[in-house]
Structure formats: structure tokens, C-alpha cells
Structure 1
Amino acid sequence: MADEKNPKDAKKPKLDKAHVADTALDLLNDVGLEGLTLRAIAKELNVQAPALYWHFKNKQALLDEMATVMFRRMVGAGEAGVAHEPQGSWQEWLMLGSRQLRATLLRYRDGARVFSGSQFTGTDHGPGMEANLRFLTEAGFGADQAAWASSTVWMFTLGFVTEEQGVQPLPGERRPGYDVAERAEMLADYPLAAAAGEHLFTGFDERFEEGLRLIVAGIEARYGVR
């Protein structure tokens, strides 16, 4: 009959932005950002590449949607350990948010590069941003100071993880060329620079926490909010 549907078509998932972004994030860990092309995603979805252009005019539009999905996963109800309402001191709250962001980015190869510079495609971030800024202003920050303080911590986290993933694309994986002993031997004529490798390319958890405390202490000293 003319209105009968092909059983194979019925099994195909609906091709929408969310499904494409989910597939792209799954593929990201295998191929990295450089290998994540619309053609590769289309192959994974078993569709022709032009079909994706109905949803994304270019790769940056796709990255925007991927960043949005990453953010939704970070703050979603199913994400264990994520606090939704500001609590405690403003110092601890800013640090908690940065830890959660870093943990999310580290789940994806090149996760920080996907996130950095992307624009969220919806307003999912609005409630949390409003609550955070209100929390900071109620703690004594001016509106401009609250925006600058929170964005500075946010950008520190993105920059840190970008560099971290340049050395370790995924936890437990290390790029060639970042052997600390080899680096020290190469820089043997510069003892301080050689010794610095131990502090720059290992112990990322400890380094992140120290950097975070430096940033927050600087905000406190600059704005005088205790």
C-alpha cells in the first residue's frame, strides 16, 4: 500500500540538533577536534553530509550546540555532585563551579577547545548565571565586579584545561614530546627552566587547585570583599 512505511526508516532516530550534537560528542573522543568533520559525523549517523547543513550552517554552529549540550550535562539533574544553588562563601562557590567545569571538559578529548569561544544556543545558562551574579552582589561585589570576577575564574579554568589537554588529551593518555626527563636534558644549560618541567607538566590536579586559589585570592585582594 502507498502509505506503508519502510521498517528500516522506522528504526532511524530523528535527525535533529540534539541528536547530531550527542553523536559529535561521542565521536570527539575517538577523532579529536581536528578529525571531527561534518562528513565524519554524517557517516556515523548513516546520512549524507548535506543533511547536516539543514541544522548547522558550519562547524562553529555545531561546536556551539556541542558546548550547549556539555553545559546541560554539567548542570543536569542527573549529574552527581553538581550544586544548583549558590551556597557557602563566595570563594568556595567560585572554586566549586570551576572544579565542576574542569571535570566536565576533561570527559571529552579537546573538550576545552570545543567549549572555549563557543556561544550557547539557548538560555539554559540564564538561571544559573543570574543566581551566581546575585550571590556575588549580595556578598558585597558591585555588578561589574561580580561579572569580572566570575568570568575571570571561568576563563582561567578554560585556559588551564586547554593546556592540560595539550599534554594529556584524555586522562591517562600523554602526547609525545612531554617527557619531563627528556625536556630537562634538553634544557640542561638552563637549570631553573629545566626543573620547572616537573611543576608545569605533571600534577595537574594540584596545579589547578593552586592556580584557582591564586585567582580567588587576587579577586579578594583587588575588590576587598571578604
Structure 2
Amino acid sequence: MATKKTTRLEPETVAETALRLLNERGLDGLTLRAIAQELNVQAPALYWHFKNKQALLDEMATVMYRRMVADPAARPDGELTWQERLLAANRGLRAGLLRYRDGAKVYSGARFTGTDFAADMEHQLGALVDAGFSLREAVRASTTAYMFTLGFVTEEQGTEPVPGEPREGFEVEERAQRLADYPLAAAAGAELFADYDDRFEEGLRLIVAGIEATYAPARS
């Protein structure tokens, strides 16, 4: 009698399978039952590792994070100014989130499993403190840039779940026609729902410039 092949369940294996299904179905379509079917196990088996869906999302975000920091592009060589470091870190964050459909939603509010993220946090905060920031300023500066990036990608993926394919109601020309009685609001669509790369870069630079303008006088 043939035995049914099963996959050994490790938390990271489950999370990797979930991330693959995430790109196919989106977060709303990602269920424990679908993941269990993909792994060829019964859904209750997943509860040995994850007490609920949020626990699974935490592990998924952890795998996403580890992949981000393993990317050489996320760790540029050479000496960086604190401004360059913040820019590089958040460019890498956005690129990592965009690898997954609804990646920003998965990442938002996640509690990383393990403590490997703390080494990177220590390094980032230490670089800012070494540049003259107080710890409070370093935390405020880094988290402000981080939350801008996370919010930007959340909106980006909300309007374009698949890059280049806007969700119904967000196609720029159709929107402009629908809002023809409100010319400024209509024209704003070309800024709001297009050129995401340029808008992100400009917005991130505005954040960094604001940090410099706010905290530099105190440091001097």
C-alpha cells in the first residue's frame, strides 16, 4: 500500500510556503487550510507551530526580513553618512516588501521571531549615535523613515496589487474623467497613482532632509 508523502513541518518551511501562496492569492486568500494542502498535511498540524494566523504572519515577516538583509544590495560597501545609510536601508526595505503581494501588510505590526534583527538595529542606531544623534533622536529618525516606507508601500500595493496593473478605480485617465468637475483632484491622480519609484525616492529624501533640519541644530 502506497503511503502518502508528507512534508516535515518546520516553522520556516511553513512560512516560505505561505509566502509563495501569498503571491498567488494575496493576503485575503491566504488561509491555513490552503497552506496545509500545499504542504500535504491536515490544517490542525499547523497549530503545533502557530497558535493563530498572526503568529504565522510574524514568522512570514521574519523570513522576509532575513531575505532582505541577506541581499547584498541592502548592505552597500564603504563608509556611509547617516543620510546615505537611512536612504539605503529604506530603499532595501521597499524592494524587499515589493517582492511579495501584500508584503507591506504582512510586515506591518509583525513581531519578529528570534533576535537576529536586533544586531541590525544595534548597527543602525549605533551609526546614528556615532553621527551625533541622541538615542531618542536616532530612534525617532529611523522609525519615521521606516514608517514612511511601510505606509508608502502599503498604499502602493493597495492600488496596484500587481505592479503595473492598477486596481479598478485607480486607472489615472478613467479617474480623471470621473472627477472632471474637480480639476485639481482629477489632475492629482497622475501624481498619486503613477511613478511610484520617483515618488518614493523624492518622499524619502524629504524625510531625511526633515530629520537633518530638525536635529542638526541640536547636535551642533
> Which interval holds the TM-score relative to the shorter structure?
over 0.9
Match of 1:152 in 2: 144
SS at match of 1:218: helix
1:164-207 CA-to-partner distances (Å, cap 9, x unmatched) read 00111132332121111111112112111111000000000000
Match of 1:198 in 2: 190
- Relative to the length of structure 1, the TM-score reads 0.92
Query: Aligned to 1:124, which of 110, 116, 120?
Result: 116
- Between the aligned partners of 2:97 and 2:139, the Cα distance in structure 1 is 22
Please report how far the alpha carbon of residue 37 of structure 1 lies from its aligned counterpart in structure 2 after TM superposition.
Answer: 0.7
- Between the aligned partners of 2:140 and 2:61, the Cα distance in structure 1 is 22
- Between the aligned partners of 1:181 and 1:60, the Cα distance in structure 2 is 38
Output the amino acid matched with 2:149.
T
> Identity, % of aligned pairs?
63
Contact kept in structure 2, 1:137 and 1:143, CA below 8 Å: yes
Shift of the 120–87 alpha-carbon distance from structure 1 to 2, 3 Å rule, reads farther
Match of 1:69 in 2: 63
Match of 1:3 in 2: none
Contact kept in structure 1, 2:175 and 2:186, CA below 8 Å: yes
* Unmatched runs of 5 consecutive residues or more in structure 2: none
The count of corresponding residues between Structure 1 and Structure 2 is: 218
1:141-164 CA-to-partner distances (Å, cap 9, x unmatched) read 010000010011011000000000
Q: CA RMSD in A?
A: 1.8
Please report how far the alpha carbon of residue 86 of structure 1 lies from its aligned counterpart in structure 2 after TM superposition.
Answer: 8.2
Output the amino acid matched with 2:170.
Y
Match of 1:87 in 2: 79
Aligned structure 1 segments of 4 or more residues deviating by more than 3 angstroms: 6-9, 84-87
* Unmatched runs of 5 consecutive residues or more in structure 1: 1-5
Which residues of 2 match residues 7-22 of structure 1 at below 5 A? 8=3, 12-22=6-16
- Between the aligned partners of 2:59 and 2:2, the Cα distance in structure 1 is 30
Contact kept in structure 2, 1:168 and 1:175, CA below 8 Å: yes
Query: Aligned to 1:102, which of 77, 86, 94?
Result: 94
Contact kept in structure 2, 1:107 and 1:170, CA below 8 Å: no
Contact kept in structure 1, 2:105 and 2:154, CA below 8 Å: yes
Output the amino acid matched with 2:178.
M
Please report how far the alpha carbon of residue 72 of structure 1 lies from its aligned counterpart in structure 2 after TM superposition.
Answer: 0.4
1:9-43 CA-to-partner distances (Å, cap 9, x unmatched) read 7x643211011000000000011000111111001
